[in-house]
Every structure is written in structure tokens, then in C-alpha cells.
A and B are shown apart, each in its own frame.
Chain A
Amino acid sequence: MEHDEALERIEIAAAEPGGLERLMAGDTADAAAVAGHLAGCAACTAEMARIRRSASVAREVIRTQPDPALRERTLAFVRQAGVARGPAAAGATAGAAAAGAAPGAGSSVVAPASGPRAGAARGEPAPTAAPVSLADERRRREGRGLRAAVAVLAAALVFAVGAGVAAYRSLSSELNATTTEQAQQIDVLEATTRATLAISAAPDAVRVPLTATPGGGDAVGTLLFSPSSGELVAVASDLEPEQAGQEYGCWIEVDGTRTRIGKMYWAGDLWAWAGPVPGLADVPDGALFGVSLGSVDGGGESTPVLTGEL
């Protein structure tokens, strides 16, 4: 068998499901001929290795490409179920938040300003063919009894963050209902409560009380995380107000090395951070979690105000 013929067989096999493996097994006349050529031809052997690598990667990329139609479906779904955004969103946010609607898994409560429910908030008729979540369709088909679970989660939500919600509502009544700041506080509070519920449901959820450092005054806080999911939520209250140019940030310290997780966002009288923390499952026992007050630009020393041992 010549080089060209061997390479042609290899190339064709690279497009077949399991083709190269069958070719290398040498259990057909063709495969035996190719194997015999490869045994004495280093150039073709190397070329086959390159073909196998390129074909494997190309196969994997093509196999995992999403359906092009998913793009429009996803954008429509976010438009329908996402929180209000933009300058025109704040009014719609407040109204929808008061109504307490919560469509879509992991979603928040209001539609974006350009979305269907934002239109309704502006007195416009809702479109007749709203985009539908694939997840919602599946849930309807499967007919799962989610209502009881939702009721339990709602009760847990009220219990877990009741104080924060009450404080927030008290505060929000004094604020201009159309401020962007208010909308952001709602988003933070909702993200925090959703994360709290989700993590609490994890079998490996860990709750850690955060205690004030000598410089932390009356600050109190709680850390909740799930090593398996990598999700973490931290809530703090009674912190001293941030001064201009300052912010509260949270971090994890392992073996004396402190890694910043993110900024603690203010929501009413709570400061909170929620989200995934890469590598959380690998953090060793005894690592320290903390909240510090520092400069927004990251310069200078930050002052720990709350800490807790993981």
C-alpha cells in the first residue's frame, strides 16, 4: 500500500464513528493493509496522529454546538423572564416586585423594560405570543407537583430573610420608587434569598456564623455555602456605613493567602454577596472567610470586620 492510499483510508476512517479504532484493530483486509503500511512508515504514523487529534477536536466541537435557533429563543426568554434593566426599568421593577411574580427557574421577578411585562407596566397590551421557556414546557409536560415545594420554599424565604425584607420595605417606602438604586437593591435581595434557598437545599450545605473583629463593632453575619455546587452566599448587617471611595468586600484566606471573592452589595440594611466560587470544593478545613472594608480601587490596607472559620 502506498502513502496516498493509506492516508485516504485514514482520513475516511476519521469521519466514521469509531472508524480509526476499527482501522487500527486491523481485523479486516483493508485495516490490515493500512496497519502493515503504518508499521513501516513513520511519516504516515505521525500524520495519522495529527489527523486523529484534529478530527477528534472537530468532532467534539461540532457535536456540542447548540442549535442556531436557540439564540433567539434564549434572548426572548430572558426578555420575558429577566429583571427590569435600564433607566425606564425602575418603575416597572417596583410594581412587579410588589406583585411578587416569579417566572422561570432561577429567575427574578420582573421583565426587562423592553419585555412584555414591562410593556404592561407602561399600560401597553401584552403580546399574544410570549416566548416560552423550554424548562417551563418540560415541567408542564411532566406535571410535577411543584406547588407544595414552592409553598415550603416561600415559607423558608420569609423566615430566612424576613428581617432583611422588612427593613428593605421600610426603607423603600422612604425612597423614590423610580430610583435605579432601589431596583438594584431588589435585585441583590432577591439574588441573595434565591441563593440562600438553593444552597440550603443542598445536602452538604454548611452554615458558618461570622463574628465581628475588634474593629468590626456590632457587625454580625452568616455564611452559607455548598462545597459540591460551589455556590456561596454571605450576608452581613450592622456594618458601619461605607465612606466615599470605600466598599465592603469578602474573601477567603488559605494558609495566609487571602483571595478576594467580590464586593458586598448593599440592600436595605444588609450587605450581601452570592454566587459561584471556583475551587470552593477544594478549600481546606480551617480556611478563613471574612468581610473587610477597603478602598474601592483596591489600594491600601483593608480592615477586616467579620470573620468565620470554614
Chain B
Amino acid sequence: MAERRAGDPEDAVLVRALAAGSEDALAALYDRHADGIHAVALRLTSDRQLAEEVVQETFLALWNRAELYDPAVASLATWLRTIARNRTVDRLRAAGRRPPLVPLPGLGDEGEADAGFERLRPDAVVLGGASADPGPEAAAESAEVRAAVAAALATMPDVERTVIILAYREGLTQSEIAERLHWPLGTVKTRTRRALAHLRHALEADDEPVGTGGPRDGW
């Protein structure tokens, strides 16, 4: 997902451009919001193909109904995720499946990014699981958190990115990764630790948009 930088147009400006027929605006809005939409659908369905269909239909709805979006009512992210959630629930009901009870974070609009920010605060140490921390799923809803992870993945060496993708996206163990890549287990572990260090630095760096405190020794 593309990180929004200072000077990038507001969502509402892009929606107006989209309504006037700009496919560039559609592409920019995809880059900005597709991750979050896909995540909403995937969490509800655990079905990657269905989640991809929902992404397609959500952006089709945005294109067809752009005039109905009112930034005074909700952020575009909230509007799109609501559409995605409804499309997903419709699909699940049509297939005779019961939608899981998954909350839709971000209805507070401006608070969306801040919610993810707060949930990564390292000083809120979990004690016996009794923290008010609502969990990684909610934190991962933040566009800034997603952008920070994407940026870290983009800038880390290929070998480190490969092992962390296999571990987190495909759920492989270190031994399974070593077997698949024909790398020594020790090499896989070293590269995994380095990849995690990159990700932690991105998520915890003080000067980043998702900054969560001071730099840590050893990171």
C-alpha cells in the first residue's frame, strides 16, 4: 500500500477526480485503501479468493457511486470498509455461512490512525493478558501501520523479506522455510531475526508516523 505523503491530494479530491472519469484517481485510491478493504474481507471470510472479489466489487461501487460519498459523514476509509463488510456478509449469507462477529474499527474517522498508533505503544506492557490493548488486528487496521510495514518490507534485503513472508503470510515454521528454500536452518533463523528487527524498527521508531517510543537497545 502506498503511504500518503505530505502534499498528496485528500481522498475527497481524488473522489471528485474519479467522478469526473480519472482512472489515475481510481488507481491512487486503490493504492491508499485496498489493503484495508482486503483485510476486512479476509478477516470475515478467511478466504483469499472471496476477499479479492470483495475488493473488486468495492472499488466498482466506489466508481459507480462516487457522487454518493459525503466526506462530512464519514472518512472514505470508513465508507469503503463498510461497503466491503456488507459485500462480504452478503457473500457469506448467500453461501449459507454465518458471518463472524468482527467489529469494524475506524468508525471514528480521524481517530483511525491514532487508534493504531495507541495500540502499538510499547509502554503499555501486557500483564497477564489483562491489558486494554485491543489486539493486533485492530492495530493493523491503521493505514499508517500498514504503510510502515510495507515500507520496511520494501527496504529490507530480499532474503530477509522472503523468510518473513513465508513465516507470516504462509505460516511456515523455520524448519519448513529452511526445507523449502534449501537454506541451513541457522541461516533462516538469522535472516528471520534481521527481518523482525527491520519490522520492529519501522513500528517503534520514534520519528516515524507510527512512532511508539524511543529507540531500543539492540534494535
Contact = CB atoms under 8 A, between A and B. Distances in A.
A86 interface: yes
A56 B131 CA distance: 15
A64 B43 contact: yes
Contacts of B39: 64
B57 A61 contact: no
Contacts of A83: 63-64
A176 to B, nearest CB: 19
A31 B16 CA distance: 57
Interface in A213-228: 228
A55 interface: yes
Nearest to A11: B193
B73 A78 contact: no
A66 B55 contact: yes
B53 A138 contact: yes
Contact of A78 (B43, B60, B126, B203): B60
Contacts of A279: 107
Q: Which bucket holds chain B's interface residue count?
A: 35 or more
A49 B131 CA distance: 11
Contacts of A184: 67
A275 interface: yes
Contacts of B145: 57, 61
Interface string A247-283: 0000000000000111101000000011111110000
B125 A82 contact: no
Interface string B165-181: 10111011110000000
Contacts of A62: 149, 153, 164-165, 168-169
B90 to A, nearest CB: 8
Contacts of B79: 275-276
Contacts of B196: 11, 14-15, 51, 54-55, 58
Size class of the A contact interface (CB-based, 8 Å): 35 or more
B133 interface: yes
B86 A78 contact: no
Interface of A: 7-8, 11-12, 14-17, 46-47, 49-67, 70-71, 73-75, 77-79, 81-89, 104-108, 112-114, 133-135, 138, 184, 187-188, 190-191, 198, 228-231, 260-263, 265, 273-279, 298
Interface of B: 1, 18-23, 26-27, 30-31, 34-35, 38-39, 42-43, 48-49, 51-53, 55-57, 59-61, 63-65, 67-70, 72-74, 78-79, 82-83, 86-87, 89-90, 107, 119-120, 122, 125-126, 133, 135-137, 139-140, 145-146, 149-150, 153, 163-165, 167-169, 171-174, 189, 192-193, 195-196, 199-200, 203-204, 216, 218
Given A54-B196, A57-B136, 16 more contacts: A11-B196, A53-B122, A54-B204, A55-B199, A58-B203, A60-B140, A64-B39, A66-B52, A74-B30, A75-B26, A85-B21, A107-B60, A138-B49, A261-B70, A262-B72, A274-B65
